[in-house]
């Protein structure tokens, strides 16, 4: 008996291999006595109306409202996008990797049938990942909003120039800074852009947020880790010659001005991630980041 009866499919199908994987997944799910929904863009790319009569092509809100499991085919970027679309529906997400690194997308294409069968029969690990809410205030009014599973980044946009800004945590002034910007990262995002900026790797179960300055002018500026419930405010300086932007997960971009306040908090809803039973965070770090294995024989 399947643990999930309504499956939503999302894919970033920028190559033939990814399209093949989605079609193969649908063919397998048709044998599993489940209802399959597919988002409109993915369904159009694989001609789902022509080739799969039992699959419903729907808009993303309808997919979220009707699915009790969402499967994302693509890379980590595809899962990040799917997470932002589906988090409000509390739909668990499972990833099939057709990208490069695959930190969040666990299943390799060769294992689709075996791993999906295990998940449908209840053999899986489920964990919660918190996300970030971001809003930009200008003269006391909210001018844009966003959310992120990995990170919210203030950066200079198209210009390679330093930014000036002030950082506050829970209304306490922390520092003024001249740098290329600031990465505000969840534990999930600590192995992404924040890691490239010299930030610490945080275990996904930690209730913490990383603050990673990007190429700070003052060498004493170092990454910080603050409690996950913190209120983080970044006040953009008035004298910046660049046109700063705020980016969520590297996928949404909003332009900010001097005097704007970037406000970041933990999102009330959490993302439910599904992993195969053999999922191990430390093994993931070793395999994806090229860490060394055992030096000594184990008895």
pLDDT, one tens digit per residue, over 55-114 is 999 999 999 999 999 999 988 899 999 999 999 999 999 999 886 767 888 888 889 999
Instruction: Give per-residue pLDDT as tens, 151-191.
Output: 999 999 877 788 999 999 999 999 999 999 999 999 999 99
Cα distance between the two ends of the chain: 40
Cα–Cα distances (Å) from 152 to 134, 138, 214, in that order, read 7, 18, 13
Kindly state the tokens that stand for 277.
């039973």
Q: How many CB atoms lie within 10 A of CB 117?
A: 14
Q: What pairing do the DSSP bridges indicate for beta strands 181-185 and 151-155? A: antiparallel
Instruction: Give per-residue pLDDT as tens, 233-261.
Output: 999 998 877 889 999 999 999 999 999 99
DSSP letter at 207 equals: -
Pick from 85, 70, 58: which is nearest to 6 by CA?
70
Cα–Cα distances (Å) from 26 to 56, 61, 82, 297, in that order, read 11, 20, 18, 44
Domains in the chain, please, with CATH? 6-124+276-289 (3.40.50.10330), 132-268 (2.60.200.30)
- How far apart CA 3 and CA 120 sit, in angstroms, is 5
Q: With left for phi above 0 and alpha for psi between -120 and 50, is residue 139 left, alpha or beta?
A: left
pTM for this structure?
0.93
Q: Is 76 a catalytic residue?
A: yes
Q: Which of 14, 16, 49, 76 is catalytic?
A: 76
Q: What is the predicted pLDDT for the residue at 156?
A: 92
Q: What is the mean pLDDT of the chain?
A: 92
With contact defined as beta carbons under 8 Å apart, do 151 and 130 qualify?
Answer: no
Torsion of CA 118, 123, 125, 131, to 10 degrees: 50
Kindly state the tokens that stand for 92.
């668990």
Q: What is the predicted pLDDT for the residue at 220?
A: 86
With contact defined as beta carbons under 8 Å apart, do 45 and 15 qualify?
Answer: no
299 pLDDT higher than 60: no
Pick from 199, 217, 219, 198: which is nearest to 209 by CA?
199
198 pLDDT higher than 70: yes
């Amino acid at each position: 008996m399947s643990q999930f009866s309504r499956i939503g499919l999302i894919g970033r199908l920028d190559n033939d291999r990814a399209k093949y994987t989605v079609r193969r997944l649908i063919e397998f799910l048709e044998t599993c006595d489940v209802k399959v929904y597919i988002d409109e863009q993915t369904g159009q790319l694989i001609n789902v109306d022509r080739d799969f009569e039992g699959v419903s092509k729907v808009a993303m809100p309808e997919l979220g409202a009707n699915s009790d499991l969402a499967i994302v085919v693509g890379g980590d970027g595809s899962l990040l996008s799917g997470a932002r679309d589906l988090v409000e529906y509390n739909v668990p997400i499972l990833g099939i990797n057709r990208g490069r690194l695959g930190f969040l997308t666990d299943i390799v294409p060769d294992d689709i049938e075996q791993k999906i069968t295990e998940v449908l029969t209840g053999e899986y690990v489920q964990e919660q990942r918190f996300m970030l809410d971001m809003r930009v205030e200008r003269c006391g009014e909210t001018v844009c909003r966003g959310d992120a599973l990995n990170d919210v980044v203030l950066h200079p946009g198209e210009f390679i120039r330093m930014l000036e800004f002030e950082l506050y945590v829970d209304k306490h002034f922390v520092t003024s800074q001249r740098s290329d910007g600031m990465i505000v990262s969840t534990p999930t995002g600590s192995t992404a852009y924040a890691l490239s900026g010299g930030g610490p790797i945080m275990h996904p179960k930690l209730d913490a947020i990383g603050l990673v300055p990007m190429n700070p002018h003052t060498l004493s500026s170092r990454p910080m880790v603050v409690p996950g419930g913190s209120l983080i405010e970044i006040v953009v300086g008035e004298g910046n010659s660049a046109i700063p932007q705020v980016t969520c997960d590297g996928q949404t971009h909003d332009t900010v001005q001097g005097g704007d306040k970037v406000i970041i908090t933990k999102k009330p809803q959490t993302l439910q991630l599904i992993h195969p039973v053999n999922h191990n965070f430390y093994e993931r770090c070793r395999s994806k980041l090229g860490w060394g294995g055992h030096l000594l024989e184990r008895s």
